[in-house]
Structure 1
Amino acid sequence: MSQLHPNLDIDQANQDLQGKSPEQIVEWALTQAKNPIITTNFRPYESAILHLVAKQRPDITVLWVDSGYNTDATYQFANKLIRDLDLNVVTYIPKQTAAHRDATMNGIPGIDNPQHGEFTEQVKLEPFRRALDELKPDVWFNAIRKDQTEFRQGLDVLSLSKDGVLKVAPLFEKTDADLDVYLDEHNLPNEHDYFDPTKVEESRECGLHTQL
């Protein structure tokens, strides 16, 4: 049981939300929220989740942990979405600079390098923990989908973070094809020139949804 949501039966809630539309899931989740956030990394299809949630809660805090290793296209895509959707973005960055890591880790450690875990901690996990500690959300909207990784196939629309924050994935059952339709219907941009140095391979977890 979560201290933030003492009356929530998450298994029952997941059952109740089966077959509901993403819009209905967002609407339900907002009834559970006093201080919701949505997290983004401006990867492909992020415009869908940002549009979906922001149209119901325009002032929602949008948390972006910027590793500093995004492509030029990702930064341009982020700027466009922030402007077009009038997003209330709060950006967190690593405590160490990329130049410091270049000097101490010889750039981005490969996934087989013993330093890769420390790299992931520095550029993603520590800034995320710091953000959650300072923002103190009770509901966390995210864009994870069942078909993305093997680990995520064992999750559901709703889950709890280790701190009891209600994690909500309104697009959990959706595919790329479904989201292509959503983007087209709402005239939303997409950007596929994206790189996550903590995952490297698309099917890997970076630790964000396994450790937090």
Structure 2
Amino acid sequence: MGKGGSVDITQRRDELEGAPVETVLRWAWDTFGDQAAATSSFQSQSVPLLHLISQHVPDLPILFLDTGFHFPETLEFRDQLIEEFGLNVRSLEPRLGHDGFREKYGKLHQRDPNMCCYLNKVEPLEDAMEEYDAWVSGIRRDQTENRAGTPVLQREDDGTLKVCPMVEWTSRDVWTYIDEHDLPKHPLLEEGYLSIGCAPCTQAPGEGDGERGGRWSGSEKTECGLHTDFGEDSENDTEATNSESDET
């Protein structure tokens, strides 16, 4: 039975709620093996989970959404962590590839950032997850209002079991772990970037902004769609957006 259908979500959720991250990771690997995969954006807040994966489940595949719009520093940081931690990373690109996407859609992020995220992040991850039954994510409840009620285990619409081993951690927990283990930090952190996505849609947050305050600044957008349901609506608008491409 695929997609973790034999797992008793309610029972396991109660058992794993509040458990150490390594316990949840070990359970996911023992239960699903190579049918489990993690995702990571390779920013500073990602490092504790990546470090714990390297220590406890080093063979766990880690999916990186290579949108073609990342800061060069993010790609360099990804490569640094792969080498230092010995991570098993698989990079995902949009269906059209980077050049094909730019040629067809141009600066889509300026016209329709939801659609841009859908084509560059949601869709490639959906394609990749057809090969996996469990998705290990590093999201935390304290990051945004949308994530405040995230359980440690939840069933996605496609049947995939989403596993969130760090869901109870706070930002303070993240930085305490980084400091205690003397782990690397994203090079843009020194310039004030607390949460880092694609370069065109990310800036350093202003004073008093939350951790993700610099993401999609100037708009009401707070999520890329990986952890929300707007992807389906955006997909329905693809045909209209296709005709609106401009210069790269």
Give TM-score scaled by structure 1 length: 0.85
Paired-residue identity, %? 32
Structure 1 residue ranges (4+ consecutive) displaced by more than 4 angstroms after TM superposition: 97-106
Question: For the structure 1 residues 203 and 182, does the alpha-carbon distance in structure 2 shift closer, same or farther, using more than 3 Å as the test?
Answer: farther
1:1-212 equivalent positions in 2, closer than 5 A: 3-34=2-33, 35-96=35-96, 105=105, 107-110=107-110, 113=111, 115-133=112-130, 136-191=131-186, 192=189, 193=193, 194-196=196-198, 197=201, 200-201=216-217, 204-211=222-229
Gaps of 5+ in 2: 203-214, 232-248
Give the helix-richer structure, 1 or 2. Answer: 2
- Whether the aligned pair in 1 keeps the contact of 2:141 and 2:168 (CA below 8 Å) is yes
Question: For the structure 1 residues 26 and 97, does the alpha-carbon distance in structure 2 shift closer, same or farther, using more than 3 Å as the test?
Answer: closer
Determine helix, strand or coil for the equivalent of 2:94.
coil
For 1:46 and 1:180, the matched residues in 2 are separated by: 11
- Whether the aligned pair in 2 keeps the contact of 1:143 and 1:171 (CA below 8 Å) is yes
- Whether the aligned pair in 1 keeps the contact of 2:94 and 2:119 (CA below 8 Å) is yes
Deviation at 1:28, TM superposition (A): 2.2
Root-mean-square deviation (CA, aligned residues, Å) is 2.5
* Cα displacement string for residues 82-115 of structure 1 (whole angstroms, at most 9, x for unaligned residues): 11011111111123455665565552534xx4x3
Gaps of 5+ in 1: none
One-letter code of the match for 1:126? E
* Cα displacement string for residues 124-156 of structure 1 (whole angstroms, at most 9, x for unaligned residues): 1221122112xx112211110001121211221
* Cα displacement string for residues 30-87 of structure 1 (whole angstroms, at most 9, x for unaligned residues): 2221321111111231111111122222122111111111112211111110110111
One-letter code of the match for 2:148? Q
Deviation at 1:5, TM superposition (A): 2.6
| Bigger relative CO (Cα 8 Å, ≥ 6 apart) | 1
Give TM-score scaled by structure 2 length: 0.74
One-letter code of the match for 1:183? I
- Whether the aligned pair in 1 keeps the contact of 2:5 and 2:159 (CA below 8 Å) is no
For 1:121 and 1:32, the matched residues in 2 are separated by: 30
